[in-house]
Amino acid sequence: MNPIRHTTAAAPKAALALLAAAAALVAAPLTATAQQGPIKIGFMLPYTGTYASLGDNIEKGFRLLVQEQGGKLAGREIQYFKVDDESEPSKATDNVAKLIKRDQVDVLVGTVHSGVALAMARAARESNTLLIIPNAGAGDITGPLCSPGIVRSSFSNWQPAYAMGVVAGSKGVKRAMTITWNYAAGTESVKGFAEGLEKSGGKVIKELNLPFPGVEFQALLTEIAAQKPDAVYSFFAGGAAVKFVKDYDAAGLRRTIPLYGPGFLTDGTLEAQGAAAQGMLTTLHYADNLDTPRNNAFRKSYALTYKANADVYSVQGYDAAQILAAGLAAVKGDMKQRDAMNAAMRKVTVDSPRGKFTISPAGNPVQDIYLREVKGNYNEFRSIAVKSLADPARGCKL
* The binder of ligand BEZ chosen from 112, 146, 173, 290 (CB under 6 A): 112
Q: Looking at beta carbons only, is 310 or 325 nearer to ligand BEZ? A: 310
Residue 95: exposure state from Cβ atoms within 10 A (0-12, 13-18, ≥19): buried
Is the distance from CB of 311 to CB of 267 less than 8 angstroms? yes
Among 60, 63, 113, 372, which residue sits at the site for ligand BEZ (rule: CB under 6 A)? Answer: 113
| Least distance to ligand BEZ, CB of residue 237, Å | 4
To ligand BEZ, the closest distance from the beta carbon of 152 in angstroms equals: 10
Letters for 194-233 (x = contact with ligand BEZ by CB under 6 A, - = none) are ----------------------------------------
**242 lies in the site for ligand BEZ, by CB under 6 A:** no
Least separation in angstroms between residue 137's CB and ligand BEZ is 4
Q: Which is nearer to ligand BEZ, 257 or 371 (CB)?
A: 371
Q: Is 396 exposed, middle or buried (0-12, 13-18, 19+ CB in 10 A)?
A: buried
Report in angstroms how near the CB of residue 364 gets to ligand BEZ at its nearest.
Answer: 13
- Is the Cβ of residue 110 or residue 202 nearer to ligand BEZ in the bound state? 110
Is 237 a binding residue for ligand BEZ by CB under 6 A? The answer is yes
- Of 30-38, 129-137, 143-151, 172-180, the segment contacting ligand BEZ by CB under 6 A is 129-137
Rounded Cα–Cα distance for residues 304 and 306 (Å): 6
User: Applying CB under 6 A, what is the total number of residues that bind ligand BEZ?
Assistant: 11
Using CB under 6 A, which residues numbered 131 to 190 contact ligand BEZ? 135-138, 157, 185
Say whether the peptide bond before residue 258 is cis (omega within 30 degrees of 0).
no
Shortest reach from residue 175's CB to ligand BEZ, in Å? 26
Measured from the CB of residue 113, what is the shortest distance to ligand BEZ in angstroms?
4
Peptide bond into 7 cis (omega under 30): no
Q: How far apart are CA 208 and CA 186, in angstroms?
A: 10
Number of Cβ within 10 Å of residue 169's Cβ equals 18
Interface region with ligand BEZ, contact rule CB under 6 A, candidates 22-30, 62-70, 111-119, 244-252? 111-119
Q: How far apart are CA 140 and CA 83, in angstroms?
A: 23
Assign residue 49 a region (left: φ > 0; alpha: ψ between -120 and 50; beta: otherwise).
left
DSSP of 231-298:
EEEEE--HHHHHHHHHHHHHTT-TTTS-EEEEGGGTTT-HHHHGGGGTT-EEEES--TT--SHHHHHH
Binding region for ligand BEZ (CB under 6 A) out of 108-116, 196-204, 333-341, 381-389: 108-116
**Are 144 and 121 in contact, with CB atoms under 8 Å apart?**
no
Strand partners, 83: 44
- Which residue in the shown chain puts its C-beta closest to ligand BEZ? 185
C-beta of 112 vs 176, nearer to ligand BEZ: 112
Looking at residue 286, the DSSP 8-state letter turns out to be: -
Comparing C-alpha atoms, which of 192, 124, 203 is closest to residue 391?
192
Helix (H, G, I), strand (E, B) or coil at 392: coil
Q: Which of 212, 32, 7, 8 is nearest to 113 (CA)?
A: 212
Binding segment for ligand BEZ (CB under 6 A), chosen from 67-75, 107-115, 161-169, 283-291, is 107-115
Answer yes or no whether residue 53 interacts with ligand BEZ by CB under 6 A. no
How far, in Å, CA of 224 to CA of 235, rounded?
15
What single letter denotes the amino acid at residue 28?
A
Of positions 114, 142, 269, 273, contacts ligand BEZ by CB under 6 A: 114
Residue 135 or 322 with smaller CB distance to ligand BEZ: 135
CB of 135 to ligand BEZ, least distance (A): 6
- Beta carbon of residue 357, minimum distance to ligand BEZ (angstroms, whole number): 17
| Contact (Cβ atoms closer than 8 angstroms) between residue 97 and residue 352 | no
CB atoms inside a 10 Å sphere around CB 180: 23
Helix axes 238-250, 218-227, angle to 10 degrees: 50
Q: Kindly state the smallest distance separating residue 117's Cβ from ligand BEZ, in Å.
A: 7
Residues contributing to the site for ligand BEZ (CB under 6 A): 112-114, 135-138, 157, 185, 237, 264
